[in-house]
Structure 1
Amino acid sequence: MSFLAILAALGLALRILGMFLILLTIAYLLIAFLTGGPYVPLSPAELDAMLYLAKPQEGELWIDLGSGTGWIGARAARHGARSIGYEINPVLVLLNRLRIRLSGLAGRAEVRQANFWFTDLSKADVVSVYLITYRMPKLQRKLAAELKPGSRVLSVQFPLPDWKPAGKLNNVYLYVVPDKRCQGSTYST
């Protein structure tokens, strides 16, 4: 095989790899768009605000919707809560599971590869989410239908459209689910 043939084969292989990476990127963005948004890491200030606002108690269940690499679930578990993260991206699920194992939180924190739109939130004491604006009305309906009174909801950056926040700190909104028998159509505190 001549040197030029090797270069041609290498060039073809690089073009195929480039096309594959482009298609993979498009698929990732499409999945992110259809499911609620791309992975965006929380800032340290947002992580601290979530814990400060939610005040997790020993034994409470903290559910993180779209858990990414699992920072909030790990921090909640260190504060005594049991955490379950739901993440659809398999690479982020692996990173999340690795973080849990390396930090010694295997009994208190877990991540499930699943689309959170199809999960039951009824046992949650705290729900955290960083979801894109146009998905917030659908999320609000899911939370209203499934969460028990007194549950806390934390939303980073984007507020729930019809609920009045009980607090806000560093772009994190806190909502407390009221007793449905005592409230009208909006969840205000």
Structure 2
Amino acid sequence: MRALCVGLVAVALIGSACGQDKKAATITIKAPERGHKDTIVKVDGVEVKESEGTWTFTTPALEAGKEYTFKVEALIEPNNYTKITRPREVTVKAGDAVKLDLTTEDKKLDKIVVRWVPTPDDIVDEMAKLAKIGKDDVIFDPGCGDAVMLIRPVKKLGAKKGIGIDIDPQMVKKAQDKAKTEGVSEKVVIKEGDILNEKDMAICAEASVVLIYIGDDLGARMAPVLQKLLKPGTRVVSHRFRLGDWKPEKTLTVRGADGDDYVLHYWVVKEKDKK
């Protein structure tokens, strides 16, 4: 009986020691300051509470000596029409205290979705005026929505052709139907495509004018593709948003029919550097 008791005590002590080897780890996450109040951070699908611009996740007790990988995802909304999903993975061991910086963009991992918001007709006309659209121009609109930026210049100014792509198949159908209703379907081509996919964007090569209304985040990602694919002399006009570090040649403010002010940016594609 005494030997059995000693054995039970030994097992209990070993179990206690093993239990002491298990420790939690902490992951402190930093997300973009811009709009951080609207940012949601999840670890392995579980939402983490935010405190003063950081999110701290405490893992379950982890076994010593082993590595554990956690999937972290930040859902960022810098404005009411842009949603950025930023996924990362972090590996920790028992007792670790690690920091994860989600303020840096990763073009391969980050996913950006922009909700369609229409540009008023009179502002589209102002954009066309700034671009000096004429009868020989081919217009391209990446993320074209209902294709108003293509239909109006073709119909009102007699532009030669309009080309648009949109990632939403339902919006593509809507734009195609609208072009047909407006009587310009033979001159306005709308295709499903991703503005961050260079192959989809290759359709812009024949454009002489680009009209854009898209968020800063997507615009910054798209700018190098435009500069690469567009021919020299192509005019680019953006409603409100800039295109990353591509400096516009002109920025002006116009007054809309609704009484609001609208900012327009203007670029001209330069000759490619010869290497």
TM range (shorter): 0.7 to 0.9
1:143 to 1:165, Cα distance in 2 relative to 1, 3 A: same
Partners of 2:218 and 2:178 in 1: how far apart?
A: 28
- Do structure 1's residue 142 and structure 2's residue 225 form an aligned pair? yes
1:53·1:174 contact (CA, 8 Å) conserved in 2?
Answer: yes
Q: Deviations over 1:52-95 (max 9, x none)?
A: 11111213210111111111110121222200111111221121
Shift of 1:136: 2.4
1:168 to 1:36, Cα distance in 2 relative to 1, 3 A: farther
Give the counterpart letter for 2:170 in structure 1. V
1:167·1:173 contact (CA, 8 Å) conserved in 2?
Answer: yes
SS at match of 1:83: strand
Give the counterpart letter for 1:178 in structure 2. K
SS at match of 1:64: strand
The residue aligned with 1:164 is 247
Q: Deviations over 1:130-164 (max 9, x none)?
A: 22212222211111211111001112211123233
Partners of 1:76 and 1:45 in 2: how far apart?
A: 11
The residue aligned with 2:214 is 131
1:46·1:171 contact (CA, 8 Å) conserved in 2?
Answer: no
1:36·1:132 contact (CA, 8 Å) conserved in 2?
Answer: no
Partners of 1:166 and 1:36 in 2: how far apart?
A: 28
SS at match of 1:58: coil
Partners of 2:121 and 2:206 in 1: how far apart?
A: 27
Q: Which has the larger radius of gyration?
A: 2
Partners of 1:164 and 1:88 in 2: how far apart?
A: 27
Higher relative contact order (CA 8 A, sep 6+): 1
The count of corresponding residues between Structure 1 and Structure 2 is 153
**RMSD, matched Cα:** 2.2
Give the counterpart letter for 1:97 in structure 2. Q
Could you tell me which runs of 5 or more consecutive residues in structure 1 were left unpaired when the two chains were aligned: 1-28, 183-189
Could you tell me which runs of 5 or more consecutive residues in structure 2 were left unpaired when the two chains were aligned: 1-79, 85-110, 253-261
1:45 to 1:80, Cα distance in 2 relative to 1, 3 A: closer
Give the counterpart letter for 1:57 in structure 2. G
Identity of aligned residues (%): 27
- Do structure 1's residue 80 and structure 2's residue 162 form an aligned pair? no
Partners of 1:35 and 1:86 in 2: how far apart?
A: 16
Partners of 2:212 and 2:147 in 1: how far apart?
A: 12
- Do structure 1's residue 155 and structure 2's residue 238 form an aligned pair? yes
How do residues 9-158 of structure 1 correspond to structure 2 at under 5 angstroms? 33=84, 34-78=111-155, 79-81=157-159, 82-117=161-196, 118-120=200-202, 121-158=204-241
Q: Is the helix fraction higher in 1 or 2?
A: 1
The residue aligned with 1:14 is none
Partners of 1:70 and 1:32 in 2: how far apart?
A: 22
Q: TM-score, normalised to structure 2's length? A: 0.51
Which consecutive segments of 4 or more residues in structure 1 shift more than 6 A?
Answer: none
Q: TM-score, normalised to structure 1's length? A: 0.72
SS at match of 1:119: helix
